[in-house]
Amino acid sequence: MPLSVIGAGFGRTGTLSLKLALEQLGFGPCYHMLEVIKNPKAPAYWEAAADGEPVDWEEVFQGYRATVDWPSATFYRELAEAYPDARVILTVREPEAWFRSTQETIFGPLIPKDETNPHSRMVMKVIDDLFGRDMHNRERLISVYEAHNARVREVIAPERLLVYQVAEGWSPLCAFLGVPEPETPMPRVNSTEEFKQMIAGMRAQAAGQPA
């Protein structure tokens, strides 16, 4: 099943909300970091990609119609070339708000780094290396974030690209994908507090304790 939609936006730009929206619109299942966490084989695929090794994208995305968030956002260009008919969505948000969100969630102390753990090692190669592994340097992170967004606009043909803020709701997304707008509200999930609760629940589950 070839990908129909490729998300180029970094994490903490509404990617989980977009995942749920795409699935509601019929572009699911949609790949996301959550799928990587669930699949013990997945980190090896993305670590290989980060190391410049050939990757069978059909194997990685078997059963999926779309992908958003990291790790695939790092490889949006390769995926756009592998799936030339897929549309590309760049989720964005105000840079300062994005930085603050990363510090309280995915780049904060809630997420320990351990190179002996396959998933953690993959994250460091696929995500942290983008920022020189200097994950709390505001100037560096925002510079990389803005450069990435600018590069996506340069690389992807305008007719194939939607630059999108989840707060814009269904209208631009549905128009871009050529589907009718649902009557239900646009999904809005994975706030900072929701993220912290999710991590706490995952840790409790791993420890065999009630969430």
Question: How does pLDDT run along the chain (211 residues), one tens digit per residue?
Answer: 799 999 999 999 999 999 999 999 999 999 999 999 899 999 999 999 999 999 999 999 999 999 999 999 999 999 999 999 999 999 999 999 999 999 999 998 766 778 889 999 999 999 999 999 999 999 999 999 999 999 999 999 999 999 999 999 999 999 999 999 999 999 988 555 666 555 555 444 434 444 4
**Domain-wise residue ranges, the chain:** 5-206
For residue 9, give both structure tokens: 């936006």
H or E element at residue 99: helix 95-104
CA dist., res. 191 & res. 71, Å (int)? 20
CA dist., res. 121 & res. 163, Å (int)? 30
Strand boundaries in the chain, DSSP class E: 5-7, 30-31, 66-67, 87-91, 161-164
The correct CATH number of 5-206 out of 3.40.50.450, 3.40.190.10, 3.40.50.300, 3.40.50.2000 is 3.40.50.300
Antiparallel, parallel or unpaired: β 87-91 and 30-31? unpaired
Phi, psi angle pair for 9, to nearest 5°: -80, 140
